Structure 1
């Protein structure tokens, strides 16, 4: 496993988030410190039905080494076929099974966190991936239960099915994204399995990441929403930089890099798609943020938008 992922020191992983952690965003966090990036969750059904949108979501930046593709699925036969399709795509190092998504549409299809209701089935699907995949590693991302907490039982099922490592979001499905994260449950998982454990849930700063690593004993942390509007968190983690010590020049550089990657991947429409990111980036610490957001909502030209981004995020505009 060391050739692909080095668990001898804490691993910093970008979590998959629908509509946000696309190739441009992943390439930025990879360039500035993430050890591992994961695709947005991709439906096994969509892959099997040759969805061009899903195949585009599989694409990766040349920087993304190693790279994990996360799939969702509820039927072994469909998952097996989806893995066979991924087997034909170069550059994928890990296939990850989503066993944690709480979204009703996903759960109603029997995938995502719905798999936590039938651990035997979840184990069979993980084993199917492991036995079918020609990629070096297989992993699973789980929650600590559906309604009731069953962290150790879930983790042991993942391990017994042959997964090489596990990422754990420390909430139940019922807890969605609001309930308190149970880091103690993640610690118990780490104590009960031999495979590496990645801790996930409400990790939004360098300080919090260090605390979670120490408290849980986890082999790494996975950051999702904590990286949106703050992709430099991976730079902080790698360089030991606390929140109040990030250089505004570095922030500007990362935001411009993100914008350039959006245009490279989506063409001119990338400027429109980038508006949501600019709303988040401009939330705190800059003069004239409200006026800036109003202006970018009316701009479609990549050249004009880039010029405005460069000016607004200049260190001289910091409050």
Structure 2
């Protein structure tokens, strides 16, 4: 299948607003992710030439294959967004978001709101498939809006032309707190012949392996489970639950360097939130966090990171 090989399970970094920016994606890509996805892009913002949106489309040189995820509920605007993306090199996949539960997105009819109107969802997928010049069209869904209808949703995606789908094992009303229904993901997988990727509460190497075994899906997508632990992709790639402090340190330093490269000196301030999660469980973590909260100089911060980890 071209740039994506589903003969072995693939490991995908989920789009997470405010976290999975270019520096973070480039690091997980280097250390084991097979596929990275842009943060969710509003097709409206893209069509209206938002400069912030264009910056979000940028990818790192090592991000190949690379997916751009769009949200939208208007076929004509989605078509225009696709035509814009066609002119941008380096994008291999256009992914339609039909899973975002955020009220603002749902109110505008996008994200998981499309799960209430499967006919419309199918038409939007068909529009992307028809006008996209990229190698793949994919869809990220939940298992329903209020009721669980995973088979129905998966079949609509398949018949509309999706090349593969990612299924998050909660309904929209389940938000991010309800238990993930891996049986529903398994049923979605069994109901279609296209590849299906499992998503939801995959927070450790062991859990990822269990989900793959239980659902028989073609891959896992990891989002919040990779924040503070991006080495989960290294573990999956190398089939090991052990991760040495040296590898962790290498990943953290690489992440910091990429932040400075992409955002300039202000990247050091932005990196504080990552250091808060990276340092969890380490001896002296609170004193370390206290120190970095006052540092703005990248060189000073880098020295501290190397000393601490």
User: Which TM-score applies when normalising by structure 2?
Assistant: 0.99
Decide which of 288, 291, 295 is 1:295's aligned counterpart.
291
2:192 is the alignment partner of 1:193? yes
User: Aligned equivalents of 2:301 and 2:72: distance in 1?
Assistant: 39
User: Aligned equivalents of 1:89 and 1:97: distance in 2?
Assistant: 17
Structure 2 gap segments, 5+ residues each: none
Cα drift, residue 167 of structure 1: 0.2
Q: 1:118 aligns to what?
A: 117
Q: Tell me, what secondary structure is at the counterpart of 2:197?
A: strand
User: Aligned equivalents of 1:170 and 1:276: distance in 2?
Assistant: 28
User: Aligned equivalents of 2:75 and 2:185: distance in 1?
Assistant: 28
User: Aligned equivalents of 1:214 and 1:271: distance in 2?
Assistant: 40
Q: Tell me, what secondary structure is at the counterpart of 1:198?
A: strand
Q: 1:316 aligns to what?
A: none
Q: 1:282 aligns to what?
A: 279
1:1-319 → structure 2 map (5 Å cutoff): 1=1, 3-242=2-241, 245-284=242-281, 286-313=282-309
Q: Tell me, what secondary structure is at the counterpart of 2:55?
A: helix
User: Aligned equivalents of 1:109 and 1:311: distance in 2?
Assistant: 48
User: Aligned equivalents of 1:144 and 1:40: distance in 2?
Assistant: 21
Question: Deviations for 1:61-94, whole angstroms, at most 9, x for unmatched residues?
Answer: 0100000000000100111101111001000000
Q: Tell me, what secondary structure is at the counterpart of 1:178?
A: coil
User: Aligned equivalents of 1:25 and 1:66: distance in 2?
Assistant: 16
Q: Tell me, what secondary structure is at the counterpart of 2:56?
A: helix
User: Aligned equivalents of 1:75 and 1:269: distance in 2?
Assistant: 37
Cα drift, residue 259 of structure 1: 0.4
Cα drift, residue 260 of structure 1: 0.4
User: Aligned equivalents of 1:173 and 1:271: distance in 2?
Assistant: 36
User: Aligned equivalents of 1:254 and 1:54: distance in 2?
Assistant: 27
Q: 1:317 aligns to what?
A: none
User: Aligned equivalents of 1:307 and 1:82: distance in 2?
Assistant: 43
Cα drift, residue 287 of structure 1: 1.8
User: Aligned equivalents of 1:18 and 1:8: distance in 2?
Assistant: 30
User: Aligned equivalents of 1:98 and 1:269: distance in 2?
Assistant: 31
User: Aligned equivalents of 2:250 and 2:221: distance in 1?
Assistant: 23
Cα drift, residue 206 of structure 1: 1.1
Cα drift, residue 195 of structure 1: 0.3
Q: Tell me, what secondary structure is at the counterpart of 1:146?
A: coil
Cα drift, residue 226 of structure 1: 0.4
CA RMSD in angstroms comes to 0.5
User: Aligned equivalents of 2:304 and 2:76: distance in 1?
Assistant: 50
User: Which TM-score applies when normalising by structure 1?
Assistant: 0.96
Q: Tell me, what secondary structure is at the counterpart of 2:162?
A: coil
Cα drift, residue 241 of structure 1: 1.1
